[in-house]
Each structure stands twice: as structure tokens, then as C-alpha cells.
Amino acid sequence: MGGKKKGGKKVGKKGKKEEKEPIDEYTEMRVEQLNSIQTNLKEQLEEAKIKRNMLQIEKDMIHDFYHNTREEIKELEARVRNFDT
């Protein structure tokens, strides 16, 4: 058996376009300014992580309270059914 032939067109250097980097506010800044912005963004990230963790803990607590309450309701309904019989 022979090898498979690869199909498709070959793109030469003529077809390639160089993409320019977008110009934004950070390309013109000094290193000191970028470092201060970086530390500020890291602090914001840490605060966001802490807040997210707190919200997740609260969500889990609410879920646990709901689950426990449902179990208590089922137990009380079973008691009522036993009294009825």
C-alpha cells in the first residue's frame, strides 16, 4: 500500500499578513507604572477570590439548612401519619 497524498493548497508568503498589536493605554506606559498597576490588579484579584469563597460558603450553608429542614419536615410528617393510624 502506498502513502496517502495530502490535499490542499500551499500558502506562500504572499498570503500571510502581519498582524499589528493593538494600541492601548499600556503600550505607552513606563515600567514603574505597569508594575504599580500589576500589584493593584493582583490585590483586586485576591479580594475577589476572598469574596467568592465567602459567597460559596454561605451558599453551602443555605443548602445544608434547606436539606436539614426538609429532613425534619419528613420526620414530622411521618409522626403525624403515625398518630393518625
pLDDT band at 16 (very low <50, low <70, confident <90, very high): low
Q: Is residue 4 part of a domain?
A: no
User: Has residue 12 got a pLDDT over 60?
Assistant: no
Q: Is residue 11 part of a domain?
A: no
Q: Is residue 24 part of a domain?
A: no
Specify which of 9-18, 26-35, 55-64 reaches the highest per-range mean pLDDT.
Answer: 55-64
**How many domains does the chain divide into?**
1
The span from the CA of 71 to the CA of 68, in Å, is 5
Angle at the Cα of 64 (from 59 to 68), degrees rounded to 5? Answer: 150
Q: Is residue 49 part of a domain?
A: yes
Query: What domain range includes position 67?
Result: 30-84
Q: Is residue 43 part of a domain?
A: yes
CB 73 within 8 A of CB 66: no
